[in-house]
Amino acid sequence: MPFVNRRCARPGCGRPATATLSYVYAQRTVWLDDLRAEDSPANHDLCGHHGDRTNAPRGWELRDRRSVGPVHQLRYAG
């Protein structure tokens, strides 16, 4: 696993990305995975904080496949 140095895609965040968000339109499913090595314009990299706060659009399903799960021990104001 090569070292991946990308940042969270949320404006004004800048934390290191730990998860990759991808939208599968045919299945109306949002996948939240561990950060992928390849950088694709179709994916969105997120930090753990914003990964936990991600919600699926109306009528879509969010599936969290991250190995670490939600980051319960870390809470940030705002």
Which residues sit at the interface with Zn ion, rule CB under 5 A?
Answer: 8, 10, 13, 15, 47, 50
Give, for 1, the enclosing helix (H) or strand (E).
none
- Nearer Cβ to Zn ion (27/68): 68
* CA–CA distance, 75 with 44 (Å, rounded to integer): 21
Answer whether 45's CB lies under 8 Å from 77's CB.
no
- Nearer Cβ to Zn ion (17/31): 17
- Give least dist CB 3 to Zn ion, A: 19
Please choose, from the candidates 31, 39, 38, 32, the residue with its C-alpha nearest in 3D space to the C-alpha of residue 69.
32
- Give least dist CB 16 to Zn ion, A: 9
- Give least dist CB 66 to Zn ion, A: 14
